[in-house]
C-alpha cells in the first residue's frame, strides 16, 4: 500500500494482495526446502565424523595397549626375570581398562583379527573395518617407535636385550630360546601356530560374543576381553612372546629389525598375521553356520505350524466344493422331475 493510498483510504487492489501472498508462500517454501536440505546433510556429516572418531579411538587404544605391553614385558623380564603371572595380569588388565575407557567411543576391537571376524559376520562394514585395521597397525608402529626411543641403552645394556622380551618369534626367536638351548631343543613353528591359534580363537570368540548385531560392545566386553587376553598370554608367552594380535607383533617387529637379535622379527611376522586371521575365520564360520541353522530351524517350525492350517483349509474348500456340486445335482434332479411332470401333463391332454 502506497502513502497516497494510505492517506486517501484507498485499499490495495486484489491483484496486489494475491501477489503479496504468492511471494510469502514462495519464501516459506524456500525456507522449508533449505531446512530440509540442511537436515538431510546433517546425518551424513554426523555419520562421517562419528566414523573418524571411532577410527581415532582405535588408533589411540591400540597405542596405549601396545606401549604398556612392550614396557611391561621388557622391563619386568630384563630386570627381574620373566614372570608369567605378572605378564598375564598386565596383559589382561591393559586390554580391559582401555576397552572400558575407549570402547564406548570406538568399537573396542584393537585387534585386526577381531575386526576381520566382525566384518565376516556383518557386524562391521567393510570400509569401517579396513580403517580400523589401518588405525590399529599405525597405533602399533607408534608404540614401537616410542618404546625404542625411551629405552635406556648402554654398552652393558644394549637395545637387543629390551627387544628380546618384547618382540615375538619362535625357534631361535622365542623368548625361551636361551633357556632351551642347553637342552638342544627349541619351540618349533608348529607349536607356535598351535598356541597362537588356540589363543586367537579364545580372543575372537570372546570379542564376538560381546558385540551386538550393530557391532557395538556390551557391558561385558571389557572384562571378557581382559580374561581372554590374560589367559592367552599365560600359555603363549614362553613359546612366541604372546603376540595375540597382528598389530602388536608388527609394531615391535619393525623397530627390532637389525638390532642384533638371534632371529630377525620381520622374517617370522607372517605367522603372527596368518594365524590370527585363521582363528578369526574359524570363529566367523561357526557363527555364520549357527545363524543359518537357527534360521533353518525357525523356518521348519513355522512350516510345522502352518501345515495343519493349510490342510484344514484344503479340507474346508473340498467340503464346500462338494456341497456346491451336490446342490447343482439336486437342482438338475428337480428340473428333470419338473420336465417329466410337464411332459406327462401334455401327453394326458
* Secondary structure, 3-state, the chain: CCHHHHHCCCCCCHHHHHHHHHHHHHHHHHHHHHHHHHHHHHHHHHHHHHHHHHHHHHHHHHHHHHHHHHHHHHHHHHHHCCCHHHHHHHHHHHHHHHHHHHCCCCCCCCCHHHHHHHHHCCCCCHHHHHHHHHHHHHHHHHHHHHHHHHCCCCCCCCHHHHHHHHCCCCHHHCCCHHHHHCCCCCCCHHHHHHHHHHHHHHHHHHHHHCECCCCCECCCHHHHHHHHHHHHHHHHHHHHCCCCCHHHHHHHHHHHCCCCCCCCHHHHCCHHHHHHHHHHHHHHHHHHHHHHHHHHHHHHHHHHHHHHHHHHHHHHHHHHHHHHHHHHHHHHHHHHHHHHHHHHHHHHC
Q: What is the CATH number of the domain that holds 294?
A: 1.20.1080.10
Rg of the chain over all Cα atoms, to the nearest angstrom: 38
Tell me whether residue 348 is in a domain: no
| Residue 183 confidence (pLDDT) | 83
Tell me whether residue 224 is in a domain: yes
Residues whose CB falls within 8 Å of the CB of residue 202, separated by 6 or more in sequence, listed in order:
228, 231, 232
- Domain holding 201, by residue range, is 43-299
| Residue 177 confidence (pLDDT) | 87
Tell me whether residue 210 is in a domain: yes
| Residue 341 confidence (pLDDT) | 59
User: Tens place of pLDDT for every residue, the chain, 349 residues?
Assistant: 544 444 454 445 555 554 555 555 555 555 555 554 544 545 556 878 889 999 999 999 999 999 999 999 999 887 788 789 999 999 999 999 999 999 888 889 999 999 999 999 999 999 999 999 999 999 999 999 999 999 888 888 888 889 999 999 999 999 888 888 888 888 999 999 999 999 999 999 999 999 887 778 788 999 999 999 999 999 999 999 999 999 999 999 999 999 989 899 999 999 999 999 999 999 999 999 988 888 777 777 776 676 666 667 666 666 666 665 666 666 666 666 666 555 555 555 4
| Residue 6 confidence (pLDDT) | 47
Measure the CA–CA gap between 158 and 211, rounded to whole angstroms. Answer: 43
Tell me whether residue 221 is in a domain: yes
| Residue 39 confidence (pLDDT) | 46
Tell me whether residue 6 is in a domain: no
Tell me whether residue 174 is in a domain: yes
| Residue 308 confidence (pLDDT) | 66
Tell me whether residue 326 is in a domain: no
| Residue 253 confidence (pLDDT) | 96
Tell me whether residue 247 is in a domain: yes
The number of distinct structural domains making up the chain is 1
Amino acid at each position: 500500500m502506497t502513502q497516497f493510498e494510505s492517506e486517501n483510504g484507498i485499499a490495495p487492489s486484489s491483484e496486489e494482495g494475491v501477489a503479496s501472498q504468492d511471494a510469502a508462500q514462495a519464501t516459506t517454501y524456500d525456507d522449508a526446502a533449505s531446512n530440509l536440505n540442511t537436515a538431510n546433510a546433517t546425518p551424513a556429516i554426523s555419520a562421517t565424523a562419528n566414523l573418524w572418531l571411532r577410527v581415532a579411538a582405535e588408533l589411540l587404544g591400540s597405542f596405549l595397549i601396545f606401549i604398556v605391553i612392550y614396557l611391561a614385558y621388557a622391563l619386568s623380564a630384563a630386570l627381574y626375570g620373566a614372570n608369567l603371572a605378572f605378564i598375564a595380569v598386565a596383559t589382561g588388565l591393559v586390554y580391559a581398562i582401555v576397552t572400558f575407557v575407549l570402547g564406548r567411543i570406538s568399537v573396542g576391537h584393537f585387534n585386526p583379527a577381531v575386526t576381520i571376524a566382525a566384518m565376516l559376520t556383518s557386524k562391521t562394514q567393510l570400509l569401517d573395518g579396513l580403517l580400523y585395521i589401518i588405525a590399529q597397525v599405525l597405533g602399533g608402529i607408534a608404540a614401537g617407535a616410542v618404546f625404542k626411543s625411551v629405552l635406556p641403552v648402554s654398552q652393558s645394556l644394549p637395545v637387543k636385550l629390551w627387544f628380546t622380551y618384547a618382540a615375538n618369534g619362535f625357534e631361535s626367536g622365542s623368548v625361551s630360546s636361551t633357556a632351551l638351548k642347553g637342552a638342544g631343543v627349541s619351540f618349533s613353528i608348529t607349536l607356535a601356530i598351535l598356541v597362537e591359534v588356540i589363543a586367537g580363537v579364545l580372543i575372537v570368540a570372546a570379542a564376538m560374543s560381546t558385540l551386538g548385531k550393530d557391532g557395538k560392545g556390551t557391558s561385558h566386553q571389557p572384562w571378557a576381553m581382559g580374561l581372554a587376553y590374560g589367559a592367552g598370554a599365560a600359555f603363549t608367552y614362553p613359546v612366541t612372546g604372546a603376540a595375540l594380535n597382528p598389530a602388536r607383533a608388527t609394531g615391535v617387529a619393525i623397530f627390532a629389525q637389525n638390532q642384533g637379535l638371534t632371529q630377525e622379527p620381520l622374517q617370522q611376522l607372517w605367522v603372527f598375521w596368518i594365524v590370527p586371521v585363521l582363528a578369526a575365520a574359524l570363529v566367523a564360520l561357526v557363527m555364520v553356520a549357527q545363524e543359518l541353522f537357527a534360521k533353518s530351524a525357525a523356518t521348519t517350525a513355522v512350516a510345522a505350524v502352518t501345515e495343519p492350517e493349510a490342510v484344514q483349509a484344503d479340507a474346508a474348500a473340498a467340503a464346500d466344493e462338494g456341497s456346491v456340486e451336490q446342490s447343482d445335482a439336486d437342482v438338475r434332479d428337480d428340473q428333470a422331475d419338473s420336465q417329466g411332470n410337464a411332459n406327462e401333463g401334455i401327453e394326458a391332454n
